Structure 1
């Protein structure tokens, strides 16, 4: 399990679940550090990414944002799929933000 100190030392690439594609997404979104990421919201990042790319991204991208933000804030490195049930519940009850392109 990656610690908060390890993630801070290694940067965004040191976070669990973060690979080359997500690092490019962070760059596009202007997120350059774990400290930057800790100030973000998964809904806002997901909607910004969709708007910037003019494409509806797989909702699992939202889950990955949620997991990375959680780790950036707490140091707890959970799998991205741990956040999927929360998102699916929000989608079912209408509280997940719609992507308007």
Structure 2
């Protein structure tokens, strides 16, 4: 869902989360995540690695940005577009 349309009080399904559409929800379900609250305390980098292992494919690293956006949102931050996290992801992967 577009971050500007997210309502924290109406989080029922994965597609109610910022930056998560049908495909993103499907990927989260592959990781065993079926409800938004299951994202609390998850590591976006570990989630990405697990997704790559499960699917036997290397996914676009921007998926990490999406995972950062939803895990941070579930930790209480305001919803932000996934690309807000791109620079942080690049710096952390470089380190």
TM-score bracket relative to the smaller structure? 0.7 to 0.9
Which structure 1 residue ranges, 5 or more long, are not aligned?
94-101
Task: Indicate the structure with greater helix content.
Answer: 1
Of the candidates 62, 71, 74, which is equivalent to residue 73 of structure 2? 71
TM-score by length of 1: 0.82
Q: Rg larger in 1 or in 2?
A: 1
Q: Does 1:46 align with 2:48?
A: yes
RMSD, aligned α-carbons: 1.3
Runs of 4+ off more than 4 Å: none
Which structure 2 residue ranges, 5 or more long, are not aligned?
none
Q: What displacement does 1:75 show?
A: 5.1
Matched with 1:4 is 8
Question: CA offsets, 1:18-40, max 9 Å, x none?
Answer: 01110110111110111101131
